[in-house]
Homo-oligomer: A and B are copies of this chain.
Amino acid sequence: MLALHVCLSPALIPLYKVEEYIVVVIDIFRATSSICYGIENGAEAIIPVAEVAECAAYREKGAEFLLAAERDGSVVEWFDFGNSPFSYTTEKVAGKTVVLTTTNGTHALHLSRSAKKVVIGSFLNLTSLCDWLGKQHDNILLVCAGWKNNFNLEDTVFAGAVVNRLRLLNKYVLDDAATAALDIYNMARNDLAGYLGKTAHSERLKKLGIEKDIAFCLNVDLTTSIPVLIGDRLVKL
């Protein structure tokens, strides 16, 4: 049997030997949803960087780089855009390389880099992600990016959606966090938007006037691409 584990916060990543897993990084509102959408829409690559300054440094490297920086839910001043999925349309990103730094998602990505493989998950690519994961013969760790190193509901619900698909294969042993995520997903699945409306982050995003981003990020199977980390770049698998 293989392991199907859920890491509920980046602060807990050090408890896992990530090199023994395929890691799926999850930041539903909004980084990994936007990354899935951007790669689907023809972005050549998305480069996740930890710091705003690192992102800014790409400005000198040429016009093929789009610079995206988000902190606390807003676009950082002076940058091309943040992590709203509506900035990752074909018109904007096809053929371009996006350099991206976000509050939570890029942090989780950086902590996961020593994994066997790092891929990106969101409701947008749920089915194609699960189909691919199920064909691998590896342990799987679903890493929730959370909010500022703590637990959040939306990433956990998505982790539960993945567990719900993969457990049908009867080849995985769940840990307690995977069991909890599955139960929470089953609670939420019939009304994702309603359920996630009660999360702290959704309140935060509403205040920023980006409810339409939230609704967009809950579209299941809008895309089929699976972004994968190769070196320091996320590209289409």
Contact = CB atoms under 8 A, between A and B. Distances in A.
B176 A200 contact: yes
A12 B15 contact: no
Instruction: Tell me the number of copies of this protein.
Output: 2
B150 A15 contact: yes
Interface size range on A against B: 20 to 34
A34 to B, nearest CB: 21
Interface string A83-108: 00000000000000000000000000
Given A15-B11, A148-B15, A187 B183 contact: yes
Interface string A196-216: 001111000000000000000
A8 B152 CA distance: 11
A113 B199 CA distance: 29
28 contacts: A8-B8, A8-B9, A8-B151, A11-B12, A12-B12, A12-B149, A12-B150, A12-B151, A15-B148, A15-B149, A15-B150, A147-B176, A150-B176, A151-B176, A151-B177, A151-B180, A152-B176, A153-B176, A153-B179, A156-B180, A176-B199, A176-B201, A179-B199, A180-B184, A183-B183, A183-B187, A184-B184, A187-B187
